[in-house]
């Protein structure tokens, strides 16, 4: 354990074979709401100090810290991130000096940049993984799929000015998968909460601070998604293959009834318009929400997106932040996209929640990990069993399994 107020050596930054391991401040963050993990490290730049003050310790001619450098970050000897230094901020006054280094993992370029402008803008008969590989290849970023991404798409397009992340994300939503990073050079296509966290969370207990928010501001009673289907007589899409857990649809999704029985409120003819509809039974007053499908959609696609809007907004309405003393639990570093049993008597929570964000910090208060918890459905693009069955979300306490380790059952079940 590092003594608060003294530089920590548990975090090490390596740039061009040059190691920095005495940071007076550190902030390492990985959150599912952002594709890229990020870092902010504060240290003494010996080269800048040596060329500024006669009394400073001489150093070799490696030069000062600078932006654009490829770097590696280790926590307790474990590789935590491979990325680039985006920004260097030196600051000095008489008697003291320090430099702040910030950056992101390699996938940061996918957030900022479009696909190769000289490349293709339309692709056919590709899976989501194949599409992502083509867009990521110029950036030397690998792609790994940890879940089924079939069937292939008949047509995939890259819009003008669209970033790589945006182009991939719009098709990931249709396949019900989550796009994230492994922090060391690979874009990961996966599902949310397939593993257990390093430990359960208890307050009072192993965390020192609890702060919650249970909000209905971004929740609605009815979710509608409209999309443009194929014109009558036009090209028919391929019939998607069913996986082992899929169930055939007997009929197209039932068209929802209007809010009133006024004849002027009756829906117009279908034409080529498709619409999905989902309800949140916990919102009892009329609060409609509408979204447009970003790509050509079938009735099934629109229905699935409507259900996704309902589930994820419901999940994100439950938020809880905890402070854990230290970086690891049970010998493992905390990592996002894992499920933890949360028992919080003050917030009235007793159920599994998704660890959506991890922030490792060091400063005057020593080593701490901020854990951002949210409803387990917050990043479920497809139904994952009935993770809402236990409603311990600040209203009432629920029950759920607290077993640790191993993969969770990934069998999907329709809502």
Q: What is the mean pLDDT of residues 320-337?
A: 93
Q: 172 and 178 in contact (C-beta within 8 Å)?
A: yes
Domains and CATH numbers, the chain: 11-105 (2.30.300.10), 110-190 (3.55.50.10)
Per residue in 368-385, pLDDT (tens digit) is: 999 999 888 777 665 544
Any bridge partners for residue 319, and if so which?
Answer: 213, 374
Q: How far apart are CA 373 and CA 356, in angstroms?
A: 6
Considering Cα of 60, then 65, then 68, then 69, what sign does the dihedral take?
positive
Residue with the bigger pLDDT between 411 and 38: it is 38
Q: Among 2-11, 84-93, 101-110, 203-212, where is mean pLDDT lowest?
A: 2-11
pLDDT of residue 410: 40
- Helix residue ranges, H only, 5-64: 46-50
Q: Is residue 154 over pLDDT 60?
A: yes
For residues 155 and 133, give the distance between their C-alpha atoms in angstroms, rounded to a whole number.
Answer: 16
| Model pLDDT, residue 57 | 59
pLDDT of residue 245: 46
Lowest mean pLDDT among 87-91, 165-169, 262-266, 407-411: 407-411
Confidence class for position 36, pLDDT limits 50, 70, 90 = very high
Mean pLDDT over all residues of the chain?
80
**pLDDT tens digit sequence for 122-140:** 999 999 999 999 999 999 9
Residue 86: predicted pLDDT: 95
Position 415 scores a pLDDT of 37
Mean pLDDT confidence for 39-60: 66
Phi, then psi, of 337 in degrees rounded to 5: 65, 40
Return the pLDDT at 396: 43
**pLDDT > 70 in the chain, percent:** 73
314-340: string of b/e by CB count within 10 Å (b at 16+)?
A: bbbbbbbbbbbeebbbeeebbebbbbb
Q: Would you place residue 230 in the very low, low, confident or very high pLDDT band (cuts 50, 70, 90)?
A: low
Whether 196 shows a pLDDT value over 50: the answer reads yes
pLDDT for 247: 45
> What digits encode the pLDDT tens for the residues 244-267?
444 444 444 455 655 555 554 555
- Residue 64 pLDDT > 70, yes or no? no
Cα dihedral 105→106→109→112 (10° resolution): -20
Q: Residue 77, preceding bond cis, omega within 30 degrees?
A: no
Q: What average pLDDT does this structure show over 5-33?
A: 88
Contacts of 288 (CB under 8 A, 6+ apart): 220, 221, 222, 223, 224, 259
**How far from 253 is each of 49, 118, 229, 301, CA to CA, in Å?**
68, 41, 14, 10
Considering only residues 105 and 401, tell me which one the structure prediction assigns the higher pLDDT.
105
- pLDDT at residue 44 tops 90: no
The pLDDT value given to residue 379: 78
Q: What is the pLDDT of residue 344?
A: 93
Instruction: Compute the residue count for the chain.
Output: 415
**The pLDDT of residue 250:** 42
Q: Per mean pLDDT, which range of 173-177, 190-194, 256-260 is the poorest? A: 256-260
The owner of tokens 């500024």 is 52
Coil, strand or helix: which one is 182? coil
């Amino acid at each position: 354990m590092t003594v608060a107020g003294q530089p920590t050596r548990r975090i090490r930054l390596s740039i061009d074979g040059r190691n920095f391991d005495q940071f007076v401040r550190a902030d390492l963050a990985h959150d599912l709401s952002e594709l890229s993990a990020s870092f902010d490290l504060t240290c003494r730049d010996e080269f800048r100090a040596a060329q500024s003050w006669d009394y400073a310790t001489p150093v070799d001619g490696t030069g000062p810290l600078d932006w654009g450098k490829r770097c590696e970050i280790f926590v307790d000897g474990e590789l935590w991130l491979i990325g680039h230094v985006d920004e260097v901020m030196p600051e000095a006054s008489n008697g003291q000096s320090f430099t702040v280094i910030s950056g992101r993992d390699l996938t940061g370029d996918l957030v900022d940049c479009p696909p190769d402008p000289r490349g293709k803008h339309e692709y056919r008969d590709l899976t989501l993984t194949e599409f992502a590989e083509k867009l990521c290849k110029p950036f030397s970023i690998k792609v790994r799929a940890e879940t089924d991404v079939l069937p292939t798409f008949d047509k995939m397009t890259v819009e003008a000015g669209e970033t790589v992340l945006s182009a991939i994300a719009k098709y990931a939503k249709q396949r019900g998968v989550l796009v994230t990073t492994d922090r060391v050079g690979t874009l990961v296509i996966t599902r949310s909460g397939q593993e257990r966290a390093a430990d359960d969370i208890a307050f009072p207990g192993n965390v020192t601070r609890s702060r919650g928010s249970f909000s209905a501001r971004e929740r609605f009673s009815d979710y509608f998604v409209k999309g443009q289907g194929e014109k009558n007589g036009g090209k028919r899409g391929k019939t998607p293959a069913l996986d082992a857990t899929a169930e055939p649809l007997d009929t197209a999704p039932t068209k929802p009834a209007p809010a009133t029985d006024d004849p002027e409120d009756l829906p117009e003819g279908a034409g080529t318009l498709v619409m999905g509809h989902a309800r949140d039974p916990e919102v009892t007053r009329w609060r409609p929400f509408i979204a447009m499908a970003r790509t050509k959609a079938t009735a099934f696609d629109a229905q699935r997106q409507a259900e996704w809007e309902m589930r994820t907004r419901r999940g994100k309405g439950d938020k809880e932040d905890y402070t854990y003393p230290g970086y690891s639990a049970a010998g493992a570093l905390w990592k996002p996209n894992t499920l933890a049993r949360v028992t919080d008597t003050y917030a009235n929570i007793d159920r599994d929640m998704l660890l959506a964000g991890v922030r490792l910090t060091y400063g005057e208060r020593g080593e701490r990990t901020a854990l951002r918890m949210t409803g387990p459905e917050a990043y479920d693009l497809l139904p994952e069993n009935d993770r809402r069955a236990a409603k311990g979300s600040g209203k009432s306490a629920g029950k759920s399994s607290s077993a640790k380790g191993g993969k969770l059952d990934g069998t999907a079940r329709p809502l």
